[in-house]
Structure 1
Amino acid sequence: MEREKFSSRLGFILISAGCAIGLGNVWRFPYIVGKYGGAAFVLIYLAFLLVLGLPIVVMEFSVGRASKKSAALSFDVLEPKGSKWHLTKYIAMAGNYMLMMFYTTVAGWMVLYFLKMLKGDFTGLDAEATAREFDNMLANPAVMTFFMVIIVLICFAICAQGLVAGVERITKGMMLLLFVLLLVLAVHSVFLEGGAPGLEFYLKPDFGKMREAGLGEAVFAAMGQSFFTLSIGIGALAIFGSYIGREKRLTGEAISIALLDTMVAFMSGLIIFPACFAYEIEPASGPSLIFITLPNVFNHMAGGRLWGALFFIFMAFAALSTVIAVFQNIISFATDLTGCSVKKAVFWNIIAIILLSMPCVLGFNVWSGFQPLGPGTTIQDLEDFILSNNLLPIGSVLYLLFCTSRYGWGFKNFLKEANEGDGLPFPAWARVYVSYILPLIVLFIFIEGYLG
């Protein structure tokens, strides 16, 4: 059976960006930028994105394109005879399933909040009542299960249509809408009366604030964010490499994706900070920013119901684009490993993902007594820790070693694949850096994740 290909380069870039653009861009990035000195931090973050994240993205794409397989078989195809690199597939597959074990639930929250905004559920509520709305949702497993199942069914239905007719067509439209919504929301927020101090807080480089927070801590935060933002190390991007032709070199494509990812994260800050400062509401980090702080901000705003609904549909698109991309991966695992049809892979994975998503849903209510990482933590925190602090860094080191070691696929093969076509080449002089220095940096991030 001939492997499907993207119908356009734009489709490939938008879908890969959609996989990388997720909720971390919105609920983590703006907050840590504000905390660590605004624009000064962004510059350090961008530098790390180029030197840390980018080479691994190029490697994932190269492994995908050279093997024409998902992570379930790409190492089997490319590894030297008799070696054990194919065992890496278990980390990649575990990573994709682990991500979906909590991401489907959070994507469901976005859709629910879009509907609540549209209905005007938050109109007239004070900050405490807004927080209670969020707590009530978490306490209700039936509502959360319903929306999680809706997300799973919609995204698998899109993937079942095939790569071009389903995934590419829908994601392209969704991502273009996401960028339009982002622009509209950012322009609106920037011109809010009283929003200027928020812009200054966010954009003005403040090395003093960086020193205050601790330069080492700021640098590590930039390093961590640049590494995690692209979802590297679990083959989530490698799959899209397997669907593209050889017309373009892969470094330029990886840069386009990293820039889109950064643009969304950066513009999210332009939406959040002026609005929070205009209404004197403290910007927080994590879920409370999205589900407590911002509904509170929209309450104060003229036409807040409309702006709130637009914001949550933007968030839903950011979440759904990631879910669709990872589901496409999961379906490819099944078809690559068993040779089954896409429809059969979809059917069995719908059941699997719904069952695997239930611990996250129940962790906020029925099983809330189980606090795996200490008081106040949930099953979702544990799942995120296993993925972010373990599977992503370990998988990334394995991709690095596979593409640079003579016992793996080797640097010469990687370079040839990455530099096939037109565009920006991957520099041959970076060999020592990606072979010896970058794996150590990623291991450092891995160890620091445990120490922290």
Structure 2
Amino acid sequence: MEKREKFSSRLGFVLISAGCAIGLGNVWRFPFIAGKYGGGAFVLLYLIFLVMMGLPIVAMEFSVGRASQKSVAKSFDELEPKGSKWHIYRYFAMAGNYLLMMFYTTIGGWMMAYFFKMLQGKFVGATPEGIEAVFGELTSNRNEMLFWMILISVIALIICSGGLQKGVEKITTAMMVSLLVIMIILVIRAVTLKDAAEGLKFYLLPDFGKMMEAGINNAIFDAMGQAFFTLSVGIGSLAIFGSYLGKERSLTGEAISVTILDTFVAITAGLIIFPACFAFGVNPGQGPGLVFVTLPNVFGEMPGGRIWGALFFLFMTFAALSTIIAVFQNIIQFARDLWGWTLKKSVLVNGVLLIGLSIPCILGMTDWAGFSLFGKSIMDIEDFIVSNNLLPLGSLVYLMFCVTRYGWGWDSFTKEVNTGSGIKFPNNKGVRIYLTFILPLIVLAIFVQGYLGMIRG
């Protein structure tokens, strides 16, 4: 059995784990929701739920990974009580990783396409209708989408084929540092625009009246959902990086570092988007429209917008690619741990599968555009299965595994999470009761809310 690789530095581990968590949801979902629910008021709520819900489960995933020194393929086998069946979850976790990549690589491809379109000056002098048409052309052109999806997938596979230290850690660290630098440059540009102060006020000043108007219950559920999904917990994509860690540092501090970085990117994205939109009188809508239609309008108006726009989409490409690399690494290591495959074999087989399985998402927007299930396109179905089912239920599996005697158990978990120097996980009766009885109910409520939202449609 070949020796398991370890991270060469703590910084590499924190940046890669954060890279997995930092995704497109930080950029196109968080700022919009924050604006909708009274800016700073929502951010406060979000931070409370992040500490109450996200952090403990991140620490649990890291602990399961480090204690077992395995990916989700074998981590439960190593730690579960004899005769129990926790290890069956590995197949659901892997399905979650695969399903996520089946649509995420397409969106990552859009980011890369837009980076090049910005560089070429495609949006210079274009009307708002012209800018919308560019996005329409991209999402109705099967071959162009296939090209970008395959390109971003192949880049991620080549990086993963370099192994942990020389491939994944080295490239992701450089990419994440670049991402943070680009973001800071873009924030400075956005906040120095004329009338940017209005956007900052809208985004950051707590407006509890606005939250009441939008409905306090909705705000709470959206804050919970965002805090929960932003960290990519529940499908073993964080546990894998715990499995490459030594025992020098306790895992609570590492979970906090990852959460802070993830939150920093989400909040900073709003500092770019809102001042820029307000400066040019553009409505900061939600989702793909915000990134692909609204912002190119803003960059089109801005002096030097071609460069600023290209930088923005380079940052977006890095945000997408960091997640793709992290999840690919989990998928590749899964086959190596479970079936003893070599790195080369796992990269080749999984690479072909990942690219092949991503094609239906693109066909769902083009050749199979008429297909829908419960009014959802192929991309929406894949997203719903991952975001509303596998992530919350998977988080529940990790949670119950770490707190109940039927799983790994509270004592084993707290011993592992607190091994090493650094911040310790609180090991008291109140925290234990909360994690055993209250947090599982909150996670279940989020799961149910996902279905209620779909029914209300």
Q: TM-score range by the shorter chain?
A: over 0.9
1:31 and 2:32 are equivalent in the alignment: yes
The answer to whether the 8 A contact 1:373-1:381 is kept is no
Question: 1:425 maps to which residue?
Answer: 424
Q: Deviations over 1:13-65 (max 9, x none)?
A: 00000000000000000000000000111011000000001110000000000
Structure 1 residue 196 displacement after superposition: 1.2
Q: Deviations over 1:346-374 (max 9, x none)?
A: 00111100111001111111111012231
1:287 and 2:299 are equivalent in the alignment: no
Question: 1:437 maps to which residue?
Answer: 438
Structure 1 residue 91 displacement after superposition: 1.4
Structure 1 residue 101 displacement after superposition: 0.3
Could you tell me how far apart the structure 2 residues matched to 1:402 and 1:367 are? 41
Q: Deviations over 1:274-322 (max 9, x none)?
A: 1001110100110110000000110111000000000000000000000
Question: 1:190 maps to which residue?
Answer: 191
1:396 and 2:390 are equivalent in the alignment: no
Q: Which amino acid in 2 is paired with 1:140?
A: N
Could you tell me how far apart the structure 2 residues matched to 1:354 and 1:361 are? 11
- Write the mapping of 1:162-181 to structure 2, written as runs, cut at 5 A: 162-181=163-182
Which secondary structure does the structure 2 equivalent of 1:234 belong to? coil
Q: Which amino acid in 2 is paired with 1:121?
A: K
Structure 1 residue 184 displacement after superposition: 0.1
Could you tell me how far apart the structure 2 residues matched to 1:240 and 1:87 are? 21
Question: 1:416 maps to which residue?
Answer: 415
Structure 1 residue 88 displacement after superposition: 1.0
Q: Which amino acid in 2 is paired with 1:72?
A: A
Structure 1 residue 185 displacement after superposition: 0.1
Question: 2:54 maps to which residue?
Answer: 53
Question: 1:264 maps to which residue?
Answer: 265
The answer for unaligned runs of 5 or more in structure 2 is none
Could you tell me how far apart the structure 2 residues matched to 1:296 and 1:378 are? 27
Q: Which amino acid in 1 is paired with 2:116?
A: L
1:363 and 2:379 are equivalent in the alignment: no
Which secondary structure does the structure 2 equivalent of 1:302 belong to? coil
Question: 1:220 maps to which residue?
Answer: 221
Could you tell me how far apart the structure 2 residues matched to 1:185 and 1:326 are? 27
Q: Which amino acid in 1 is paired with 2:70?
A: K
The runs of at least 4 consecutive aligned structure 1 residues that moved more than 3 Å come to none
Q: CA RMSD in A?
A: 0.6
- Write the mapping of 1:371-390 to structure 2, written as runs, cut at 5 A: 371-374=372-375, 377-390=376-389
The answer for unaligned runs of 5 or more in structure 1 is none
Q: Which amino acid in 1 is paired with 2:299?
A: F
- Write the mapping of 1:299-338 to structure 2, written as runs, cut at 5 A: 299-338=300-339
Q: Which amino acid in 2 is paired with 1:136?
A: E
The answer to whether the 8 A contact 1:389-1:449 is kept is yes
Could you tell me how far apart the structure 1 residues matched to 2:435 and 2:417 are? 14
1:10 and 2:6 are equivalent in the alignment: no
Question: 1:64 maps to which residue?
Answer: 65
Q: Which amino acid in 2 is paired with 1:384?
A: D
Normalised to the residue count of structure 2, the TM-score between the two structures is: 0.98
Could you tell me how far apart the structure 2 residues matched to 1:373 and 1:144 are? 25
Could you tell me how far apart the structure 2 residues matched to 1:373 and 1:183 are? 42
Could you tell me how far apart the structure 1 residues matched to 2:364 and 2:236 are? 28
Could you tell me how far apart the structure 1 residues matched to 2:378 and 2:308 are? 32
Q: Deviations over 1:175-208 (max 9, x none)?
A: 0000000000011000101211111100111000
Which secondary structure does the structure 2 equivalent of 1:167 belong to? helix
Normalised to the residue count of structure 1, the TM-score between the two structures is: 0.99
Could you tell me how far apart the structure 2 residues matched to 1:185 and 1:52 are? 31
Structure 1 residue 127 displacement after superposition: 1.1
Q: Deviations over 1:56-88 (max 9, x none)?
A: 000000000000000011001111111110011
Q: Which amino acid in 2 is paired with 1:215?
A: I
Q: Which amino acid in 2 is paired with 1:354?
A: I
Q: Which amino acid in 2 is paired with 1:14?
A: L
Give the number of equivalent residue pairs: 450
Identity %: 63
Question: 1:101 maps to which residue?
Answer: 102
Which secondary structure does the structure 2 equivalent of 1:280 belong to? coil
Could you tell me how far apart the structure 2 residues matched to 1:398 and 1:248 are? 25
Which secondary structure does the structure 2 equivalent of 1:165 belong to? helix
Question: 2:122 maps to which residue?
Answer: 121
Could you tell me how far apart the structure 2 residues matched to 1:139 and 1:356 are? 19
The answer to whether the 8 A contact 1:233-1:393 is kept is yes
Could you tell me how far apart the structure 2 residues matched to 1:350 and 1:149 are? 10
Structure 1 residue 126 displacement after superposition: 1.1
